Amino acid sequence: MSRRPGPRSDRVDVRGDILGSARALFATRGFTGTTMRAVAEGAGVDVALVPYYFGNKDGLFAAVLELPVDPHQKIDEIFAQGLDGVGERIVREVAALLDDPVTGPALLGLMRSAMTEGPANDVVREFIDNVIIGAYARHLPGPDARRRAALAASQIVGLAMARRVVGIEPLATMTVDELVAHVGPTLQHYLAADLD
Amino acid sequence: MSRRPGPRSDRVDVRGDILGSARALFATRGFTGTTMRAVAEGAGVDVALVPYYFGNKDGLFAAVLELPVDPHQKIDEIFAQGLDGVGERIVREVAALLDDPVTGPALLGLMRSAMTEGPANDVVREFIDNVIIGAYARHLPGPDARRRAALAASQIVGLAMARRVVGIEPLATMTVDELVAHVGPTLQHYLAADLD
């Protein structure tokens, strides 16, 4: 896309400017410390344009991390059908995202960033903490919500590592149905069973 | 340690020379393709000196990866008490290794290598496949042994990521007893329960 000279309101890459401002702010202030208003100011655009392009702060964060899906929305969909069978639905969705030629590499990139030291790691940690764990926890009842979500996240991350990053057999080549049968009950237990 | 000039049999860092040869061979031929004999030849030492310094190929690999423990031996110890309660014993041991000021950073380094692309990743994958999963599987009965070991490994890796790499609360600050109570039953299920 060519960039025309002219006043700021006249430029063509408003979306890219918002992303650039958001990337800088998330890196320095973290997810919690970054407001939509500050992102708009940094980009020199009207604050209404941020939700116009990215929906909400989660969507903006997903775009900054170049995630091809909004995890928040995916998680809401999975829990919309209730807690019954939620473990199996999560494994099915995670396997589909990992095996997909677009979302798979994006998730691997996110995990690689999480492994590095420094600001990229902090941003990913904030994202996992606030968006992923937060979204799960919001759908879970009682004071154990966050503990349940974190335990489930540990199994999901480990599954992703084993299937796609390290390539541990037979997990790397198991069918999605086999993964669902084996790992679904673990997530179901963490999310919905009596923990103590 | 100073290196004296002289014939090869007279030098002082035989151990270091064996490690250097092993590191190069593991990186190019992988764990399976590397023999103790080839390591000794590469180092210009008698083949008997390799087991003298490192016990066996697993011990040599652990030394190359700068692991402060021989995982093979640890796993044997855990299973020596039988399958009853093995899930809890593994979580307790993993948590102790992760929280230890010497072994913790070494394990994080191993996981970081596993996340990168290229020869280091291949070496770590071979190690996890042949040493870790293999050692677990050897203690498990029946044709499902490898599947059980791989499922357990996925939860262990995810726990390590959540507790030490990403730092997901409350997993990062949970006591070892709480981790054992929550994650022990998952490992017990993967390793010893009816899978189908």
**What are the pLDDT tens digits along chain B (196 aa)?**
444 444 455 567 899 999 999 988 887 777 778 899 999 999 999 999 999 999 988 888 888 877 777 788 889 999 999 999 999 999 999 999 899 887 887 777 777 777 766 666 677 777 788 778 888 999 998 889 999 999 999 999 999 989 988 888 899 999 999 999 999 999 999 999 988 7
Asked if A194 is an interface residue toward chain B (Cβ–Cβ < 8 A), one would say no
Asked if A137 is an interface residue toward chain B (Cβ–Cβ < 8 A), one would say no
Q: Where are the alpha helices (DSSP H) in chain B?
A: 14-29, 36-43, 49-54, 57-64, 71-79, 86-99, 103-115, 119-127, 134-138, 145-160, 176-192
CA of A126, closest CA in chain B: separation in Å?
9
CB-CB under 8 Å, B155 with A186: yes
Predicted TM-score (pTM) of the model is 0.79
Closest-approach residue (CA) in chain A for B179: A151
Nearest by Cα to B131 from B181, B173, B75, B84:
B75
Chosen for mutation from B156, B166, B190 (greatest number of chain A CBs closer than 10 Å) is: B166
Closest-approach residue (CA) in chain B for A183: B151
For residue B84 the two structure tokens come to 């009853």
Answer whether A150's CB lies under 8 Å from A133's CB.
yes
Please write the tens of the pLDDT for every residue from A96-108: 989 988 788 777 7
Please give the interface size between A and B, counted as residue pairs whose CB atoms are below 8 Å apart: 118
CA of A11, closest CA in chain B: separation in Å?
39
Please write the tens of the pLDDT for every residue from A110-160: 777 777 666 666 777 777 887 788 889 999 988 899 999 999 999 999 999
State the Cα angle at B112 between B88 and A125, rounded to 5°. Answer: 80
CB-CB under 8 Å, A181 with B171: no
| A24-33, A52-61, A79-88, A184-193: least confidently modelled range | A24-33
CA of B3, closest CA in chain A: separation in Å?
36
Nearest by Cα to B94 from B19, B186, B189:
B186
Asked if A154 is an interface residue toward chain B (Cβ–Cβ < 8 A), one would say yes
Closest-approach residue (CA) in chain B for A120: B166
Name the residue with tokens 């970081």: B112
Answer whether B40's CB lies under 8 Å from B29's CB.
no
CB-CB under 8 Å, B166 with A157: yes
Nearest by Cα to A156 from A135, A173, A133:
A133
Helices and strands, counts by H and E, chain A: 11, 0
CB-CB under 8 Å, B168 with A150: yes
Half-sphere exposure of A134 (CA within 13 A, CB side): 13
Chosen for mutation from A124, A157, A177, A194 (greatest number of chain B CBs closer than 10 Å) is: A157
Domains belonging to chain B, first-starting first, are 8-64 (1.10.10.60), 71-192 (1.10.357.10)
CA of B86, closest CA in chain A: separation in Å?
17
| C-alpha span between A113 and A100 (Å, rounded) | 20
| C-alpha span between A126 and A113 (Å, rounded) | 12
**Strand, helix or coil at A78?**
helix
Asked if B43 is an interface residue toward chain A (Cβ–Cβ < 8 A), one would say no
**Strand, helix or coil at A28?**
helix
Please write the tens of the pLDDT for every residue from A33-69: 889 999 999 999 999 999 999 998 888 888 887 777 7
Q: How far apart are the first and last CA of chain A?
A: 57
| C-alpha span between B191 and A87 (Å, rounded) | 20
